[in-house]
Chains A and B, each alone.
Chain A
């Protein structure tokens, strides 16, 4: 099974904020990543955070890291229909990426 865990589905109304949560198991992970995958496409790197940071903001995206609880979250402000996709959390340890199973985000009008 995967060491990185995510909830499978999230439904959000257009214009609201989305929060996608992730837990990981290895406290020695150096970087934590968020990727976006649209149907039939590869993974698009959205953002990443170094393990000694608590928060990173990039336009509509905010990443929060709670290293004590090994919890990572991605907040998308003002969610749009184009944000509908699968979002993957990944941790890097020993120069290898381990992915969660992905959270399918559906944006409804």
Chain B
């Protein structure tokens, strides 16, 4: 079964540094999502793409976070500068369209020292 690919699996960095996460959705999935999951909580949506366009980034801290999906396929989420409170699991998901079931990758576990 096709999967959502994410890298790296783990990232440890110091505060004030820049970090980047990569996601490759299931082939043919037009909608891509980035979520943040804090330990002990459910995932919270950061940004949603439809093809290459952002359709919802209302919960994305735009002073330090950015996301792009230039060719409408894979996507990158960046944090600069990282803060201690950014330590979390960052999950990518994709769906055929916005109203279809979402399939998740294994996530990137970020630890900020």
* Chain A residues at the B interface, C-beta cutoff of 8 Å: 2, 4, 30-31, 33, 35, 40-45, 48, 88, 90, 92, 95-97, 99-102
Contacts beyond the supplied A43-B93, A88-B43: 12 A-B pairs with Cβ under 8 Å: A2-B42, A30-B99, A31-B99, A42-B105, A42-B106, A42-B107, A43-B43, A44-B104, A92-B99, A101-B40, A102-B40, A102-B42
Contact between B104 and A96, CB atoms less than 8 A apart? no
- 17 CB < 8 A contacts A-B: A4-B42, A31-B101, A33-B101, A40-B106, A40-B109, A42-B104, A43-B93, A43-B104, A44-B104, A45-B101, A45-B104, A92-B99, A96-B48, A97-B102, A99-B43, A102-B40, A102-B42
Residues of B in contact (CB 8 Å), total 22
Interface of A is mostly: strand
Give me the interface of B with A, judged by CB distance under 8 Å: 4, 6, 40-45, 48, 56, 91, 93, 98-99, 101-107, 109
* Cβ–Cβ contact A90 & B107, under 8 A: no
B91 contacts A95, C-beta separation under 8 Å? no
Find out whether the CB atom of A45 lies under 8 angstroms from the CB atom of B42.
Answer: no
Minimal beta-carbon separation of B4 from chain A (angstroms): 8
CA–CA, A41 and B104, complex, Å:
10
Q: A97 to B101, alpha carbons, bound, how many Å? A: 10
Q: Is the CB of B91 within 8 A of A42?
A: yes
Residues in A with CB closer than 8 Å to B105 are 42
Which one of B44, B98, B107 contacts A95 once the chains associate, using CB atoms below 8 Å? B98
State the Cβ distance, A105 to closest chain B Cβ, in Å. Answer: 15
Q: Which of B42, B103, B107 contacts A41 (CB 8 A)?
A: B107
On chain A, the residues within 8 Å of B93 by CB distance are 43
Cα distance, A92 to B97, chains bound together (Å): 13
**Taking the nearest CB of chain A, how far is it from the CB of B35, in angstroms?**
9
A-B pairs, top 8 by smallest CB distance, nearest first, are A99-B42, A95-B98, A42-B104, A43-B104, A42-B106, A42-B107, A42-B105, A41-B106
